Amino acid sequence: MLGSALTVFGQDNWPSFRGPGACGIADEVTPAVWNVTNSRNIVWKTPLPGLGHSSPVIWGDKLFVTTAVNGKRDPSLKVGYYGDVASSDDSETQQWRVICLNKKSGQILWQATAHEGMPHVKRHPKATHANCTAATDGTNLLAFFGSEGLYCYDLEGHLRWTKDLGVLRANPSVYNDRWDTNLNQWEWGFASSPVIYAGRGFVQCDVLGQGFVAAFDIHDGREIWRAPRNDTATWSTPNVCVAGLRPQLVVNGWRQMAGYDLQTGGEIWHLSGGGDCPVPTPLMWSNIIFLTSAHGPRKPVFAVKADAAGDIAQRAGEHMLWSTNRGGAYMATPIVCDGRLYTCDMDGLLHCFDAATGRLFYKERLGAGGDSFTSSPVASRGKIYFASEQGLVYVLQPGPQFKVIATNRLEESCLATPAISEGTLFYRTQTQIIAIAEKQPSP
């Protein structure tokens, strides 16, 4: 039953962004320490063509990623903190590809070119033209390339259907109303990943103009419903909440965080007041929906009850379990581990809350400062992994006290969120995928 899959921690399968229900947790033993240089606990490394920040997804022994391959030159990637966020200049012809690897060996099994041509929109200097993580239900593989289209494959790489959703311009909202003449200068690219649930594929398209969320029949691509969105550009992936009165599609936003009826697309509840460039995916835990963002003057965390309805701002006491204006995250989706909510802002400032009450256990910084964090954390038995853009992975022990048990290097930049399957961590770095698992030392 697909509904139950959203509440079970991943074992073999990691079917979408951050695994089942985007919870980011696998009930498995994974390594705390590795070394890419001397291959300690490194199972395999496979180079990937092009550039992409989409996360690996896994079904059985197959691992899937997407990428965009520049036909003329190696694309640039600018990580870290800087003031100049004008769009990157790589408007040459690209190939948008889906790549399937063997999970056990790292061998590339097949590649499919979904689209080839000039990009319809520009990208942020630290973004790519393949930011969206694919989704699979074991039969279908849904890959979203924003303005270049939505594509459904079978797991052998055969195209089943495709949808053109138009040009999706995701410009920073703080500039949308002020510098309309500079829209091309400030294009940042598209990043919302698709979700598959109960025979439908769902997408969130918060863009300039007429934003929307939509549901498609996963078998033939038929559009089932489309709901308009009253928001500016966002880069958040939607999530499905099966708790509460009825299943709903939950989306982050600035003006319109909201829940939509899965069957009809009708709005169930809405809330405004987040950061003005929302990125983190809504997170579900114990009948609570966690929403966070951190761009602009506020860094809120909202703990919304799963049975909320209507305008939550007007009835916060009835539909909001707790909230705070500090401690939210800009890029990384939070994680709940052992009843504690962890939010990591882009500068590595980590907050640990009691997920049920909002009580703050601690506020600490990962590293010595200078790292930036885009990749979302994942967790396994007794470990939470936070990867910086600079390729440092901080391994924390869950609990009410801040305790880093290991720090590992990936040896190059990392903005993608890892996958976990059968005790193996799969990290996508700038040029490759690295499989990391406990290995017995050689005799």
Q: Which pair of structure tokens corresponds to residue 420?
A: 């976990």
What per-residue confidence (pLDDT) applies to 442? 55
pLDDT band at 185 (very low <50, low <70, confident <90, very high): low
Across 71-75, 205-209, 326-330, 355-359, least confident range: 71-75
Per residue in 233-256, pLDDT (tens digit) is 899 999 999 998 889 999 999 999
CA distance 27 to 11: 7
What per-residue confidence (pLDDT) applies to 302? 97
CA distance 205 to 194: 10
Q: Which pair of structure tokens corresponds to residue 14?
A: 């990691």
Closest CA to 227 of 241, 238, 235: 238
pTM equals: 0.94
Residue whose entry in the numeric block shows the structure tokens 């309309």: 180
156 vs 297, residue with greater confidence: 156
Residues present in the chain in total: 443
CA distance 167 to 293: 25
Give residue limits of the domains in the chain.
2-436
Per residue in 88-108, pLDDT (tens digit) is 777 789 999 999 999 999 999
Mean pLDDT of the chain: 91
Per residue in 394-421, pLDDT (tens digit) is 999 999 999 999 999 999 999 999 999 9
What per-residue confidence (pLDDT) applies to 87? 75
Q: How far is CA 293 from CA 173, 176, 311, 438, in A?
A: 13, 18, 19, 35
Inter-residue long-range contacts of 321-326, CB under 8 Å, 24+ positions, other chains counted? 321/288, 321/356, 321/358, 322/357, 322/358, 323/358, 324/300, 324/353, 324/358, 325/298, 325/299, 325/300, 326/299
Strands (E), 298-412: 301-305, 310-311, 320-324, 335-337, 340-344, 349-354, 360-365, 378-380, 383-387, 392-396, 404-409
Q: Are strands 432-436 and 283-285 parallel, antiparallel or unpaired?
A: unpaired
CA distance 200 to 28: 29
CATH homologous superfamily for 2-436? Answer: YVTN repeat-like/Quinoprotein amine dehydrogenase (2.130.10.10)
Q: How far is CA 336 from CA 15, 279, 398, in A?
A: 19, 18, 10
